[in-house]
Chain A
Protein backbone atom coordinates (compact mmCIF):
# COMPACT_ATOMS: atom_id res chain seq x y z
CA UNK A 1 0.00 0.00 0.00
CA UNK A 2 2.59 2.51 1.17
CA UNK A 3 6.27 1.79 1.27
CA UNK A 4 9.00 4.12 2.56
CA UNK A 5 12.59 2.98 2.19
CA UNK A 6 15.47 4.99 3.56
CA UNK A 7 13.52 8.22 3.18
CA UNK A 8 15.09 11.51 4.28
CA UNK A 9 13.61 14.98 4.14
CA UNK A 10 15.25 18.35 4.52
CA UNK A 11 13.72 21.79 4.08
CA UNK A 12 16.22 23.90 2.16
CA UNK A 13 19.86 23.67 3.21
CA UNK A 14 19.14 22.84 6.87
CA UNK A 15 19.76 19.48 8.51
CA UNK A 16 17.31 16.68 7.77
CA UNK A 17 14.07 16.83 9.77
CA UNK A 18 13.44 13.19 8.88
CA UNK A 19 16.12 10.54 8.39
CA UNK A 20 16.19 6.88 7.40
CA UNK A 21 12.44 6.41 7.53
CA UNK A 22 11.49 2.91 6.43
CA UNK A 23 8.10 1.29 6.84
CA UNK A 24 5.49 -0.71 5.06
CA UNK A 25 1.79 0.07 5.54
CA UNK A 26 -0.57 -2.84 4.97
CA UNK A 27 -3.84 -2.26 3.06
CA UNK A 28 -6.81 -2.00 5.39
CA UNK A 29 -4.73 -1.39 8.51
CA UNK A 30 -5.02 1.38 11.10
CA UNK A 31 -1.91 3.29 12.17
CA UNK A 32 -1.25 5.89 14.80
CA UNK A 33 1.72 8.17 14.38
CA UNK A 34 2.97 9.70 17.61
CA UNK A 35 5.92 11.74 18.71
CA UNK A 36 6.78 14.94 20.49
CA UNK A 37 5.92 18.26 18.98
CA UNK A 38 8.44 19.03 16.24
CA UNK A 39 9.42 15.36 15.82
CA UNK A 40 8.37 15.49 12.17
CA UNK A 41 4.88 13.96 12.14
CA UNK A 42 3.39 16.56 9.78
CA UNK A 43 6.47 16.37 7.56
CA UNK A 44 6.07 12.62 7.20
CA UNK A 45 2.37 12.87 6.47
CA UNK A 46 3.06 15.54 3.82
CA UNK A 47 5.08 13.01 1.86
CA UNK A 48 2.27 10.52 2.36
CA UNK A 49 -0.37 12.82 0.88
CA UNK A 50 1.94 14.01 -1.92
CA UNK A 51 2.45 17.60 -0.81
CA UNK A 52 6.19 17.02 -0.54
CA UNK A 53 8.72 14.89 -2.37
CA UNK A 54 11.42 13.26 -0.22
CA UNK A 55 14.99 14.56 -0.42
CA UNK A 56 16.26 11.01 -0.66
CA UNK A 57 15.02 7.46 -0.46
CA UNK A 58 12.13 5.65 -2.10
CA UNK A 59 8.41 6.25 -1.63
CA UNK A 60 5.99 3.84 -3.26
CA UNK A 61 2.24 4.37 -3.17
CA UNK A 62 -0.37 1.98 -4.57
CA UNK A 63 2.54 0.06 -6.05
CA UNK A 64 4.11 2.95 -7.94
CA UNK A 65 7.27 4.90 -7.38
CA UNK A 66 6.31 8.45 -6.46
CA UNK A 67 9.75 10.03 -6.49
CA UNK A 68 10.14 9.75 -10.24
CA UNK A 69 6.45 10.12 -11.09
CA UNK A 70 5.71 12.97 -13.53
CA UNK A 71 3.71 15.84 -12.06
CA UNK A 72 0.66 15.40 -14.24
CA UNK A 73 -0.01 11.92 -12.81
CA UNK A 74 -0.19 13.18 -9.23
CA UNK A 75 -3.85 14.39 -9.29
CA UNK A 76 -5.06 10.85 -10.04
CA UNK A 77 -3.23 9.58 -6.95
CA UNK A 78 -4.34 12.44 -4.75
CA UNK A 79 -7.98 11.67 -5.50
CA UNK A 80 -7.46 8.29 -3.83
CA UNK A 81 -6.15 9.93 -0.65
CA UNK A 82 -8.22 11.83 1.92
CA UNK A 83 -6.41 14.37 4.08
CA UNK A 84 -7.37 16.08 7.34
CA UNK A 85 -4.92 18.96 7.81
CA UNK A 86 -3.70 20.03 11.21
CA UNK A 87 -4.85 23.57 10.35
CA UNK A 88 -8.07 22.41 8.56
CA UNK A 89 -7.47 24.50 5.39
CA UNK A 90 -11.12 25.02 4.64
CA UNK A 91 -11.78 27.42 1.77
CA UNK A 92 -12.99 30.55 3.56
CA UNK A 93 -15.45 31.82 0.97
CA UNK A 94 -17.22 28.49 0.54
CA UNK A 95 -20.02 27.24 2.80
CA UNK A 96 -19.57 24.10 4.90
CA UNK A 97 -21.63 22.21 2.32
CA UNK A 98 -19.48 23.40 -0.61
CA UNK A 99 -16.25 22.65 1.26
CA UNK A 100 -17.39 19.09 1.90
CA UNK A 101 -18.58 18.65 -1.69
CA UNK A 102 -15.31 19.90 -3.18
CA UNK A 103 -13.47 16.56 -3.65
CA UNK A 104 -16.53 15.08 -5.38
CA UNK A 105 -16.88 18.09 -7.67
CA UNK A 106 -13.19 18.05 -8.55
CA UNK A 107 -13.55 14.36 -9.39
CA UNK A 108 -16.39 15.28 -11.75
CA UNK A 109 -19.34 13.88 -9.77
CA UNK A 110 -22.62 15.44 -10.95
CA UNK A 111 -24.67 17.71 -8.69
CA UNK A 112 -27.57 15.20 -8.58
CA UNK A 113 -25.27 12.45 -7.32
CA UNK A 114 -23.44 14.45 -4.68
CA UNK A 115 -26.22 16.31 -2.85
CA UNK A 116 -27.39 13.12 -1.07
CA UNK A 117 -24.03 11.99 0.35
CA UNK A 118 -23.04 15.56 1.29
CA UNK A 119 -26.33 16.08 3.15
CA UNK A 120 -25.94 12.80 5.03
CA UNK A 121 -22.36 13.65 5.96
CA UNK A 122 -23.44 17.08 7.24
CA UNK A 123 -26.05 15.64 9.55
CA UNK A 124 -23.74 12.84 10.69
CA UNK A 125 -21.15 15.37 11.91
CA UNK A 126 -23.99 17.30 13.57
CA UNK A 127 -23.87 20.31 11.26
CA UNK A 128 -27.06 19.71 9.29
CA UNK A 129 -28.41 23.10 10.28
CA UNK A 130 -25.12 24.94 9.63
CA UNK A 131 -24.70 23.70 6.06
CA UNK A 132 -24.61 27.19 4.56
CA UNK A 133 -22.35 28.67 7.25
CA UNK A 134 -18.89 29.87 6.21
CA UNK A 135 -15.84 28.54 8.09
CA UNK A 136 -15.15 31.85 9.81
CA UNK A 137 -18.52 31.62 11.56
CA UNK A 138 -17.91 28.06 12.79
CA UNK A 139 -16.17 27.09 16.03
CA UNK A 140 -12.78 25.35 15.91
CA UNK A 141 -14.34 21.97 16.58
CA UNK A 142 -17.01 22.54 13.95
CA UNK A 143 -14.38 23.49 11.38
CA UNK A 144 -12.47 20.34 12.26
CA UNK A 145 -15.54 18.23 11.66
CA UNK A 146 -16.06 19.87 8.26
CA UNK A 147 -12.40 19.17 7.42
CA UNK A 148 -12.85 15.51 8.35
CA UNK A 149 -16.06 15.26 6.35
CA UNK A 150 -14.26 16.69 3.32
CA UNK A 151 -11.45 14.14 3.73
CA UNK A 152 -13.74 11.11 3.82
CA UNK A 153 -16.60 12.12 1.48
CA UNK A 154 -14.97 10.58 -1.61
CA UNK A 155 -14.29 7.23 0.12
CA UNK A 156 -10.50 7.41 -0.20
CA UNK A 157 -8.32 4.29 -0.20
CA UNK A 158 -5.90 6.03 2.13
CA UNK A 159 -6.96 8.45 4.86
CA UNK A 160 -4.30 10.67 6.41
CA UNK A 161 -5.30 12.72 9.45
CA UNK A 162 -3.03 15.18 11.27
CA UNK A 163 -4.27 15.76 14.85
CA UNK A 164 -7.91 15.26 13.80
CA UNK A 165 -9.27 15.44 17.33
CA UNK A 166 -7.23 18.31 18.71
CA UNK A 167 -10.13 20.75 18.90
CA UNK A 168 -13.14 18.64 19.84
CA UNK A 169 -14.47 17.42 23.16
CA UNK A 170 -13.75 13.81 24.18
CA UNK A 171 -17.24 12.70 23.19
CA UNK A 172 -16.89 14.10 19.66
CA UNK A 173 -13.36 12.68 19.49
CA UNK A 174 -14.72 9.21 20.15
CA UNK A 175 -17.44 9.73 17.57
CA UNK A 176 -14.95 10.88 14.89
CA UNK A 177 -12.64 8.01 15.71
CA UNK A 178 -15.65 5.75 15.23
CA UNK A 179 -16.01 7.20 11.73
CA UNK A 180 -12.39 6.42 10.93
CA UNK A 181 -12.84 2.92 12.28
CA UNK A 182 -15.93 2.40 10.15
CA UNK A 183 -14.07 3.55 7.06
CA UNK A 184 -11.20 1.29 8.00
CA UNK A 185 -13.55 -1.67 8.20
CA UNK A 186 -14.70 -0.84 4.67
CA UNK A 187 -11.09 -1.19 3.53
CA UNK A 188 -9.59 2.26 3.88
CA UNK A 189 -6.06 2.38 5.22
CA UNK A 190 -5.93 4.99 7.97
CA UNK A 191 -2.96 6.94 9.33
CA UNK A 192 -3.67 9.26 12.25
CA UNK A 193 -1.05 11.52 13.82
CA UNK A 194 -1.87 12.36 17.41
CA UNK A 195 -0.51 13.19 20.85
CA UNK A 196 -3.57 11.68 22.49
CA UNK A 197 -2.57 8.37 24.12
CA UNK A 198 -6.16 7.65 25.19
CA UNK A 199 -7.24 7.71 21.59
CA UNK A 200 -4.76 5.02 20.65
CA UNK A 201 -6.10 2.53 23.16
CA UNK A 202 -9.60 2.86 21.71
CA UNK A 203 -8.88 1.10 18.44
CA UNK A 204 -8.24 -2.60 18.51
CA UNK A 205 -5.50 -3.88 16.22
CA UNK A 206 -4.16 -0.41 15.62
CA UNK A 207 -0.41 -0.22 15.16
CA UNK A 208 1.70 2.57 16.52
CA UNK A 209 4.54 4.38 14.78
CA UNK A 210 6.66 6.56 16.95
CA UNK A 211 8.85 9.40 15.70
CA UNK A 212 11.76 10.57 17.81
CA UNK A 213 13.74 13.51 16.55
CA UNK A 214 13.11 12.69 12.93
CA UNK A 215 13.74 8.95 13.20
CA UNK A 216 11.22 6.15 13.35
CA UNK A 217 11.38 4.01 16.46
CA UNK A 218 10.78 0.47 15.25
CA UNK A 219 12.67 -1.83 17.61
CA UNK A 220 10.87 -5.02 16.56
CA UNK A 221 11.07 -4.27 12.84
CA UNK A 222 7.31 -4.87 12.60
CA UNK A 223 6.76 -1.68 10.65
CA UNK A 224 9.40 -2.45 8.10
CA UNK A 225 8.56 -6.13 7.83
CA UNK A 226 4.97 -6.55 8.99
CA UNK A 227 3.86 -10.09 9.79
CA UNK A 228 1.77 -10.24 6.61
CA UNK A 229 4.84 -9.40 4.55
CA UNK A 230 7.12 -11.84 6.28
CA UNK A 231 4.92 -14.81 5.63
Chain B
Protein backbone atom coordinates (compact mmCIF):
# COMPACT_ATOMS: atom_id res chain seq x y z
CA UNK B 1 0.00 0.00 0.00
CA UNK B 2 2.62 2.53 1.08
CA UNK B 3 5.37 1.10 -1.11
CA UNK B 4 3.34 -1.00 -3.55
CA UNK B 5 4.53 -4.38 -4.75
CA UNK B 6 5.49 -4.20 -8.40
CA UNK B 7 6.81 -7.25 -10.30
CA UNK B 8 10.54 -6.97 -11.03
CA UNK B 9 9.95 -7.02 -14.79
CA UNK B 10 7.53 -4.10 -14.52
CA UNK B 11 9.98 -2.02 -12.51
CA UNK B 12 12.16 -1.77 -15.59
CA UNK B 13 9.45 0.32 -17.24
CA UNK B 14 10.91 3.26 -15.36
CA UNK B 15 14.60 3.83 -15.99
CA UNK B 16 16.73 2.85 -13.03
CA UNK B 17 18.06 6.24 -11.95
CA UNK B 18 16.33 8.25 -9.23
CA UNK B 19 13.20 9.98 -10.43
CA UNK B 20 14.20 13.56 -9.83
CA UNK B 21 17.58 14.46 -8.42
CA UNK B 22 17.01 16.89 -5.55
CA UNK B 23 13.77 15.45 -4.13
CA UNK B 24 15.32 13.15 -1.48
CA UNK B 25 17.59 15.98 -0.32
CA UNK B 26 14.79 18.54 -0.06
CA UNK B 27 12.66 16.01 1.79
CA UNK B 28 15.60 15.26 4.12
CA UNK B 29 16.02 18.95 4.99
CA UNK B 30 12.29 19.46 5.53
CA UNK B 31 12.07 16.32 7.65
CA UNK B 32 14.98 17.42 9.82
CA UNK B 33 13.45 20.88 10.36
CA UNK B 34 10.05 19.35 11.06
CA UNK B 35 11.49 17.07 13.73
CA UNK B 36 13.49 19.87 15.36
CA UNK B 37 10.44 22.15 15.40
CA UNK B 38 8.32 19.33 16.81
CA UNK B 39 10.90 18.63 19.52
CA UNK B 40 11.09 22.32 20.39
CA UNK B 41 7.29 22.53 20.47
CA UNK B 42 6.93 19.53 22.75
CA UNK B 43 9.75 20.68 25.04
CA UNK B 44 8.42 24.23 25.29
CA UNK B 45 4.85 23.13 25.84
CA UNK B 46 5.96 20.82 28.61
CA UNK B 47 8.02 23.48 30.38
CA UNK B 48 5.20 26.02 30.02
CA UNK B 49 2.89 23.52 31.69
CA UNK B 50 5.44 22.68 34.35
CA UNK B 51 6.07 26.33 35.19
CA UNK B 52 2.35 27.06 35.07
CA UNK B 53 1.37 24.34 37.49
CA UNK B 54 4.38 25.02 39.74
CA UNK B 55 3.55 28.70 40.14
CA UNK B 56 -0.20 28.72 39.90
CA UNK B 57 -0.79 27.78 43.51
CA UNK B 58 2.25 29.34 45.18
CA UNK B 59 2.52 32.61 47.12
CA UNK B 60 5.33 34.12 49.20
CA UNK B 61 4.53 36.09 52.34
CA UNK B 62 7.05 38.84 53.00
CA UNK B 63 7.30 39.94 56.65
CA UNK B 64 9.03 43.32 57.04
CA UNK B 65 8.54 43.98 60.78
CA UNK B 66 11.61 46.07 61.83
CA UNK B 67 12.44 44.18 65.02
CA UNK B 68 14.36 41.06 63.89
CA UNK B 69 13.23 38.99 66.90
CA UNK B 70 9.53 39.78 66.41
CA UNK B 71 10.02 39.23 62.69
CA UNK B 72 11.38 35.72 63.22
CA UNK B 73 8.63 34.92 65.71
CA UNK B 74 5.92 36.11 63.33
CA UNK B 75 7.41 34.06 60.51
CA UNK B 76 7.50 30.92 62.62
CA UNK B 77 3.95 31.47 63.87
CA UNK B 78 2.64 32.10 60.36
CA UNK B 79 4.36 28.98 59.03
CA UNK B 80 2.84 26.85 61.80
CA UNK B 81 -0.63 28.35 61.47
CA UNK B 82 -0.60 28.06 57.68
CA UNK B 83 0.58 24.46 57.72
CA UNK B 84 -2.41 23.61 59.90
CA UNK B 85 -4.92 25.04 57.39
CA UNK B 86 -6.80 22.55 55.16
CA UNK B 87 -6.28 24.72 52.02
CA UNK B 88 -2.50 24.77 52.41
CA UNK B 89 -0.48 21.99 50.83
CA UNK B 90 2.81 23.06 52.36
CA UNK B 91 4.32 26.07 54.11
CA UNK B 92 8.05 26.67 54.36
CA UNK B 93 10.08 29.45 55.96
CA UNK B 94 12.93 30.56 53.71
CA UNK B 95 16.29 30.44 55.58
CA UNK B 96 18.27 33.60 56.09
CA UNK B 97 21.29 31.84 54.53
CA UNK B 98 19.28 31.02 51.44
CA UNK B 99 18.25 34.65 51.06
CA UNK B 100 21.81 35.87 51.60
CA UNK B 101 23.09 33.39 49.05
CA UNK B 102 20.63 34.68 46.48
CA UNK B 103 21.36 38.31 47.25
CA UNK B 104 25.09 37.65 47.36
CA UNK B 105 25.01 36.85 43.67
CA UNK B 106 23.72 40.37 43.07
CA UNK B 107 26.26 41.99 45.38
CA UNK B 108 29.11 39.93 44.04
CA UNK B 109 30.06 38.58 47.49
CA UNK B 110 31.78 35.24 47.97
CA UNK B 111 28.98 33.65 49.93
CA UNK B 112 29.01 30.19 48.45
CA UNK B 113 30.62 27.64 50.77
CA UNK B 114 32.02 30.07 53.42
CA UNK B 115 28.66 31.52 54.48
CA UNK B 116 27.70 35.10 55.18
CA UNK B 117 30.87 36.85 56.19
CA UNK B 118 30.14 39.88 54.00
CA UNK B 119 29.62 42.77 56.42
CA UNK B 120 27.32 44.67 54.07
CA UNK B 121 25.16 41.66 53.49
CA UNK B 122 25.05 40.84 57.19
CA UNK B 123 23.96 44.35 58.05
CA UNK B 124 21.03 44.31 55.61
CA UNK B 125 17.59 44.22 57.21
CA UNK B 126 16.34 41.19 55.25
CA UNK B 127 12.62 40.40 55.33
CA UNK B 128 11.46 37.03 56.55
CA UNK B 129 9.86 34.95 53.78
CA UNK B 130 7.33 32.14 54.00
CA UNK B 131 6.53 30.13 50.84
CA UNK B 132 3.02 28.68 50.81
CA UNK B 133 1.55 26.22 48.28
CA UNK B 134 -2.22 26.04 48.04
CA UNK B 135 -4.29 22.88 47.69
CA UNK B 136 -6.42 22.66 44.54
CA UNK B 137 -7.50 25.28 42.07
CA UNK B 138 -9.65 27.71 44.02
CA UNK B 139 -7.00 30.43 44.27
CA UNK B 140 -9.21 33.44 44.89
CA UNK B 141 -10.87 31.89 47.95
CA UNK B 142 -7.57 30.62 49.32
CA UNK B 143 -6.07 34.09 48.96
CA UNK B 144 -8.89 35.58 51.07
CA UNK B 145 -8.40 32.97 53.77
CA UNK B 146 -4.63 33.48 53.71
CA UNK B 147 -5.04 37.25 53.95
CA UNK B 148 -7.10 36.81 57.12
CA UNK B 149 -4.48 34.46 58.52
CA UNK B 150 -1.62 36.86 57.73
CA UNK B 151 -3.51 39.80 59.27
CA UNK B 152 -3.78 37.77 62.48
CA UNK B 153 -0.27 36.31 62.67
CA UNK B 154 1.92 38.94 60.95
CA UNK B 155 0.09 42.23 60.47
CA UNK B 156 1.54 44.43 57.73
CA UNK B 157 3.13 41.52 55.80
CA UNK B 158 2.86 41.48 51.98
CA UNK B 159 1.48 38.52 50.03
CA UNK B 160 3.11 37.99 46.60
CA UNK B 161 1.44 35.48 44.24
CA UNK B 162 4.09 33.92 41.95
CA UNK B 163 1.71 33.71 39.01
CA UNK B 164 1.83 37.47 38.78
CA UNK B 165 5.47 37.71 37.84
CA UNK B 166 6.19 34.25 36.35
CA UNK B 167 2.88 34.08 34.49
CA UNK B 168 4.01 36.14 31.49
CA UNK B 169 7.10 33.94 31.17
CA UNK B 170 4.95 30.84 31.08
CA UNK B 171 2.71 32.54 28.53
CA UNK B 172 5.66 33.47 26.33
CA UNK B 173 6.98 29.91 26.39
CA UNK B 174 3.48 28.70 25.60
CA UNK B 175 3.29 31.01 22.55
CA UNK B 176 6.65 29.76 21.33
CA UNK B 177 5.33 26.20 21.59
CA UNK B 178 2.35 27.15 19.41
CA UNK B 179 4.64 28.75 16.86
CA UNK B 180 6.73 25.57 16.76
CA UNK B 181 3.53 23.58 16.22
CA UNK B 182 2.53 25.88 13.36
CA UNK B 183 5.98 25.40 11.80
CA UNK B 184 5.52 21.63 11.91
CA UNK B 185 2.24 21.97 10.01
CA UNK B 186 3.69 24.39 7.45
CA UNK B 187 6.70 22.17 6.79
CA UNK B 188 4.42 19.15 6.41
CA UNK B 189 2.48 21.09 3.75
CA UNK B 190 5.75 22.07 2.05
CA UNK B 191 6.84 18.41 2.00
CA UNK B 192 3.53 17.39 0.45
CA UNK B 193 4.02 20.10 -2.19
CA UNK B 194 7.47 18.72 -3.00
CA UNK B 195 5.99 15.24 -3.43
CA UNK B 196 3.25 16.60 -5.72
CA UNK B 197 5.82 18.42 -7.85
CA UNK B 198 7.98 15.28 -8.02
CA UNK B 199 5.02 13.17 -9.11
CA UNK B 200 4.03 15.71 -11.78
CA UNK B 201 7.61 15.96 -13.04
CA UNK B 202 7.85 12.17 -13.21
CA UNK B 203 4.64 12.01 -15.23
CA UNK B 204 5.96 14.66 -17.60
CA UNK B 205 9.29 12.92 -18.08
CA UNK B 206 7.70 9.56 -18.75
CA UNK B 207 4.64 10.73 -20.65
CA UNK B 208 5.43 8.73 -23.78
CA UNK B 209 5.82 5.55 -21.76
CA UNK B 210 2.56 6.20 -19.92
CA UNK B 211 0.67 6.84 -23.14
CA UNK B 212 2.05 3.62 -24.59
CA UNK B 213 1.12 1.66 -21.47
CA UNK B 214 -2.41 3.04 -21.64
CA UNK B 215 -2.81 2.04 -25.26
CA UNK B 216 -1.81 -1.56 -24.66
CA UNK B 217 -4.37 -1.78 -21.88
CA UNK B 218 -2.56 -0.89 -18.67
CA UNK B 219 -4.91 0.34 -15.95
CA UNK B 220 -4.41 3.58 -14.03
CA UNK B 221 -3.78 1.43 -10.98
CA UNK B 222 -0.92 -0.44 -12.65
CA UNK B 223 0.73 2.77 -13.79
CA UNK B 224 0.18 4.51 -10.47
CA UNK B 225 1.74 1.68 -8.49
CA UNK B 226 4.81 1.84 -10.68
CA UNK B 227 5.38 5.53 -10.01
CA UNK B 228 4.15 5.50 -6.42
CA UNK B 229 6.67 2.82 -5.56
CA UNK B 230 9.56 4.83 -6.96
CA UNK B 231 8.47 8.11 -5.32
CA UNK B 232 7.84 6.39 -1.98
CA UNK B 233 11.32 4.86 -2.05
CA UNK B 234 12.91 8.19 -3.02
CA UNK B 235 11.17 10.11 -0.23
CA UNK B 236 11.80 7.32 2.28
CA UNK B 237 15.53 7.80 1.68
CA UNK B 238 15.16 11.53 2.35
CA UNK B 239 13.02 10.97 5.43
CA UNK B 240 15.49 8.45 6.86
CA UNK B 241 18.40 10.84 6.31
CA UNK B 242 16.55 13.83 7.80
CA UNK B 243 15.47 11.77 10.79
CA UNK B 244 19.00 10.53 11.44
CA UNK B 245 20.42 14.07 11.40
CA UNK B 246 17.60 15.41 13.60
CA UNK B 247 18.07 12.57 16.09
CA UNK B 248 21.79 13.27 16.31
CA UNK B 249 21.14 17.00 16.87
CA UNK B 250 18.49 16.34 19.52
CA UNK B 251 20.74 13.97 21.43
CA UNK B 252 23.57 16.52 21.30
CA UNK B 253 21.29 19.35 22.49
CA UNK B 254 19.85 17.16 25.23
CA UNK B 255 23.32 16.23 26.42
CA UNK B 256 24.50 19.85 26.51
CA UNK B 257 21.28 21.03 28.12
CA UNK B 258 21.63 18.49 30.91
CA UNK B 259 25.18 19.68 31.57
CA UNK B 260 24.28 23.38 31.68
CA UNK B 261 21.16 23.56 33.79
CA UNK B 262 20.39 20.47 35.77
CA UNK B 263 17.60 22.37 37.51
CA UNK B 264 15.66 23.24 34.38
CA UNK B 265 16.48 20.08 32.42
CA UNK B 266 13.61 18.22 34.00
CA UNK B 267 11.06 20.79 32.83
CA UNK B 268 12.38 20.86 29.25
CA UNK B 269 12.59 17.13 28.61
CA UNK B 270 10.37 15.61 25.92
CA UNK B 271 8.76 12.90 28.00
CA UNK B 272 7.69 9.50 26.64
CA UNK B 273 4.73 11.00 24.74
CA UNK B 274 7.03 13.52 23.06
CA UNK B 275 9.52 10.87 21.98
CA UNK B 276 6.68 8.71 20.67
CA UNK B 277 5.43 11.66 18.63
CA UNK B 278 8.90 12.28 17.20
CA UNK B 279 9.22 8.61 16.26
CA UNK B 280 5.76 8.59 14.69
CA UNK B 281 6.40 11.70 12.56
CA UNK B 282 8.80 10.09 10.02
CA UNK B 283 6.47 7.11 9.60
CA UNK B 284 3.51 9.42 9.11
CA UNK B 285 5.61 11.41 6.63
CA UNK B 286 6.32 8.31 4.51
CA UNK B 287 2.63 7.40 4.51
CA UNK B 288 1.64 10.97 3.65
CA UNK B 289 4.16 11.10 0.80
CA UNK B 290 2.90 7.83 -0.68
CA UNK B 291 -0.74 8.88 -0.46
CA UNK B 292 -0.02 12.32 -1.89
CA UNK B 293 1.89 10.77 -4.80
CA UNK B 294 -0.94 8.31 -5.42
CA UNK B 295 -3.65 10.98 -5.49
CA UNK B 296 -1.56 13.25 -7.74
CA UNK B 297 -0.88 10.41 -10.18
CA UNK B 298 -4.47 9.20 -10.31
CA UNK B 299 -5.74 12.74 -10.85
CA UNK B 300 -3.23 13.36 -13.66
CA UNK B 301 -3.95 10.01 -15.37
CA UNK B 302 -7.67 10.77 -15.43
CA UNK B 303 -6.96 13.62 -17.82
CA UNK B 304 -5.52 11.22 -20.41
CA UNK B 305 -8.00 9.09 -22.35
Contacts and interface: CB of A to CB of B under 8 A. Distances in A.
B252 interface: no
Contact of A106 (B12, B217, B305): B217
B179 interface: no
Contacts of B276: none
Contacts of B208: 89, 91
B215 to A, nearest CB: 6
Interface stretch (A11-19, A22-30, A97-105): A97-105
B216 A102 contact: yes
A51 B215 contact: yes
B216 A91 contact: no
Q: Is the interface of A mostly helix, strand, loop or mixed?
A: helix
B218 A50 contact: no
Interface of B: 7, 9-10, 12-13, 15, 208-209, 211-220, 222, 302, 305
Interface stretch (A74-82, A179-187, A214-222): A74-82
Contact of A98 (B9, B212, B222): B9
A91 B217 contact: no
Interface of A: 49-53, 71-72, 74-79, 83, 89, 91, 93-94, 98, 101-103, 105-107, 111, 150
Given A53-B305, A79-B217, A93-B12, 6 more contacts: A71-B302, A91-B209, A102-B216, A103-B217, A106-B222, A150-B216
Nearest to A103: B216
B302 A94 contact: no
A93 B208 CA distance: 12
Contact of B220 (A53, A72, A79, A94): A72
Contacts of A93: 12, 15
Nearest to A150: B216
Nearest to B220: A72
Given A53-B305, A91-B209, A98-B12, A83 B217 contact: no
B119 to A, nearest CB: 89
A231 to B, nearest CB: 34
